[in-house]
Amino acid sequence: MQHDEAVSPQIGTILMVAIVVLLAALIILMFHLPDFSDPIHPIPSFLEISGVYHTDEHGILNYDSRVILLHNGTERFENGGLRAEFFRNGTKISAVIETMNGNEFISTHHYGVQTMGGLGCSGLYW
């Protein structure tokens, strides 16, 4: 009887070494490839909160907060396209200003906001 088996230990060894080398190369490439994902950048803020006051003009505590905003950038923005949202300890509160244009500001349409004033909101640009 003749055995016609085509088993070659050399071919098996070469295939195993090739597979191990390919897997090692893939693992090394996985650690050395740069991250091409788009990093999350926060929206840049051109307005800076310079003060928050909980008193009226006479210094009496009344819990009606006054927020003083300053423009800390160089680019001019149209007031009508700007809006403000307020957060307390990272949680959004219901005080929203839909427009920063003082001429279009209507206190009854802005929950939590009574008045708006100053140079930034008096013209067309902030």
In tens digits, what is the pLDDT along the chain, a chain of 126 residues?
Answer: 566 666 678 888 899 999 999 999 988 888 776 666 666 766 667 777 788 788 877 888 877 777 777 777 778 888 778 877 778 788 888 777 777 777 777 766 666 666 777 777 777 777
Tokens of 6: 């085509």
Asked if residue 126 is part of any domain, the answer here is no
Asked if residue 21 is part of any domain, the answer here is no
Asked if residue 39 is part of any domain, the answer here is no
- Give CA–CA dist 71/46, Å, rounded: 6
Q: What does pTM read for this prediction?
A: 0.47
Asked if residue 73 is part of any domain, the answer here is yes
- Structural domain tally of the chain? 1
Whether 94 and 112 have beta carbons less than 8 Å apart is answered as yes
- Give CA–CA dist 112/90, Å, rounded: 18
Asked if residue 10 is part of any domain, the answer here is no
Asked if residue 34 is part of any domain, the answer here is no
Asked if residue 28 is part of any domain, the answer here is no
Asked if residue 81 is part of any domain, the answer here is yes
- Residue 99 belongs to domain spanning: 47-109
